[in-house]
Every structure is written in structure tokens, then in C-alpha cells.
Chain A
Amino acid sequence: GQQLNQSPQSMFIQEGEDVSMNCTSSSIFNTWLWYKQDPGEGPVLLIALYKAGELTSNGRLTAQFGITRKDSFLNISASIPSDVGIYFCAGLYNFNKFYFGSGTKLNVKP
């Protein structure tokens, strides 16, 4: 199967800071998704990206479909305590199957 590398694995930030995380692969993907999972809950879809170079926002969240189609980035601006959770990427390979990253765990200090 295809490998998606998410980084960083975890991060500790201060409330109000901006956050960046990414998902990379050696393969080309056709769609990128970003999910957020609160502790003890199921993942919730945040943003879907369908075209190389696409930049999409959802409130304080902004995600980009990398121009090489091998990566995607998620930024969170002005973080707040409720941003705590695990952020997953998922990439659609060959229009055939979604592969999931292993997640970035975000901790926000008030």
C-alpha cells in the first residue's frame, strides 16, 4: 500500500500561536482530506481538496493541495484550547483507494 508520512507526530503550542502540519508521500494523489479527532471520538472531516495547488479554508483552518500532488498542508491560525486533538490526512491514490496518515497530535497550552 501507499505510505503517507505525517509530521510532526506531536506538537505542543501556546494558545494563540499558529500551527502547521503536513502530509507527504513519494506517490501522486488525486484528492486530499483532513480530519480532526477529538479524544475518545471519531474523526470529523474538516477540509477536502481536489486539485493541485488548491487552497481551501474552513474558519481558522487552511489546507493546501501541494503543487507536486505528493503532499498537503494544514495550517491553524490563532490556536485555541478546543483545537486539541489528532489531525489525520487521507490521500486518494489512483482514484481507487484512500490511504490514511498516522496523525499529528496537537496540544494547546492555555
Chain B
Amino acid sequence: DGGITQSPKYLFRKEGQNVTLSCEQNLNHDAMYWYRQDPGQGLRLIYYSQIVNDFQKGDIAEGYSVSREKKESFPLTVTSAQKNPTAFYLCASGPGQGIRVHAQIQYFGPGTRLTVL
């Protein structure tokens, strides 16, 4: 089955702890993205990557970090520096080679809901 998987589905974190959200895709997509979704708001871009070992900050990167060591994987770490981390986090990937990274149609994973206690 081709697709994007995110784990875990639900995550609880104590204040002051770092936590890592997993995103894996077997679609052979080059581009991968992380978004944050808050109730009643649109999607806000955290980080994106168009190629292995390269990634760029999105609109709200502060308090987050990523890595892209493999084409299939793009984990997101929510650090203790993120002031308001409770949110729904969505990973996405896009297929096109040679297409600008933000111009690609994006396919989303099922999301991870992070709650800070």
C-alpha cells in the first residue's frame, strides 16, 4: 500500500520536554512538508524539504527542528522552546521532480495530535 504514515496518532508531552513526530512515505516523493493546524485556522507551514539532506524553514519554524537523512523519512522534533506546542501536526509529500517545491500538489498523512500537559 502506497501512502504517508505518521506516528504516533496521539502524543502527550510534559512541559520542558522535546518530542519527535515520525513521518514516512513510500510514494517515492522528493518533497516533504510539515504543517501545524490549530482549531478554526488554516494550515501553517513549519518546515519543508525538497531533497535528502536539505530542508528549509517555513512560516513558523521557531521551536521546531527537522532532519531529512532518507528520502522516505522527515521527522519533526518539537522542542521545549516552542511556546504553544499543543496542536494537530500534518506531514505531506509532493511528487514532482523539477517542479518548484511549493508548487507541487501535496498529499497528506493522517496527522499526529500533540498535547502538552
Point out residues on A near B: beta carbons under 8 Å.
Answer: 31, 33, 35, 40-45, 48, 88, 92, 95-98, 100-103
Contacts and interface: CB of A to CB of B under 8 A. Distances in A.
A95 B105 contact: no
A40 B105 CA distance: 22
B106 interface: yes
B75 interface: no
Given A35-B108, A48-B105, A98-B105, 13 more contacts: A41-B110, A42-B4, A42-B109, A42-B111, A45-B107, A92-B103, A95-B103, A96-B100, A97-B100, A98-B103, A98-B104, A102-B40, A102-B42
B102 A98 contact: yes
Contacts of B107: 45
Q: What bracket does the count of chain B residues touching chain A fall in?
A: 20 to 34
A32 B104 CA distance: 12
Interface of B: 4, 6, 40-43, 88, 90, 92, 100, 102-111, 113
Contacts of B102: 96-98
B105 A45 contact: yes
A40 B42 contact: no
A55 B36 CA distance: 31
19 contacts: A33-B105, A35-B108, A40-B113, A41-B111, A42-B110, A43-B90, A45-B107, A48-B105, A92-B103, A95-B103, A96-B102, A96-B103, A97-B103, A98-B102, A98-B103, A98-B106, A102-B40, A102-B41, A103-B42
